[in-house]
Amino acid sequence: MESTGVYWIPLYDVLEKHGIRPCLVDARGMKNVPGLMLMVLRLFSEVGRDMSRWKTAGHFVSWLALCPDNDITGGRVAWRGMRRVHNRAGELFRMAAYSLHHDRSPFGDYLRRMKSKLGPPGATTATAHKIAIIFYTMVKKQVEYDATLWAERDAQREKRFEAKIKRQAQQLGYKLVPIEEKPAA
């Protein structure tokens, strides 16, 4: 049940007295995850609150069919593609990812970056994969969503990208020099 007020306390006590173990979910915390704003309760109705069915986030994402399905035979990849499983919860995560195309969050940036690499369907699935892992972690470990982690990771990605460009320029015999900004007159 959604714990947005105190009206649920008597109901909680009655359910607990009859041997039913209710789980309280703070939907406000889940709504902070980009893309999940309106889908939180539908996700919980599909997935449930008990994450012990899946040992790891990888198992959860595999159950959602948000991971690649590579047929490997003899050490060689014979076929690459997506799993052909229809999972309503997986579809909800895909819808959440698809809604981030014009979003100015790190998830929106990730989706647009992946679209240039993987194409629209692959990018949507990759972003849904990332959102599902965050959902699993928040529910399993009872932690809040922290958007500052994504800012740190974006800064690290920018540093790696800059180092890569400098290394490539050095291999070609060039030296990169940052542009000095002139003070406005």
Can you spell out the DSSP letters for the chain?
-B-SSSTTHHHHHHHHHTT-----B-HHHHTTSTT-TTTHHHHHHHH-S-GGGSSSHHHHHHHTT-SB--EEETTEEEE--B-----HHHHHHHHHHHTTTT--SHHHHHHHHHHHHH-HHHHHHHHHHHHHHHHHHHHHHT----THHHHHHHHHHHHHHHHHHHHHHHHTT----PPPPPPP-
Higher pLDDT, 43 or 13: 43
- pLDDT of 178 higher than 60: yes
Tell me the range of 37-46, 82-91, 126-135, 172-181 where mean pLDDT is highest: 126-135
Higher pLDDT, 12 or 34: 34
Q: At what angle do helices 148-171 and 106-118 cross, to 10 degrees?
A: 40
Average pLDDT over residues 147-169: 88
d(CA 72, CA 115): 25
Average pLDDT over residues 127-151: 85
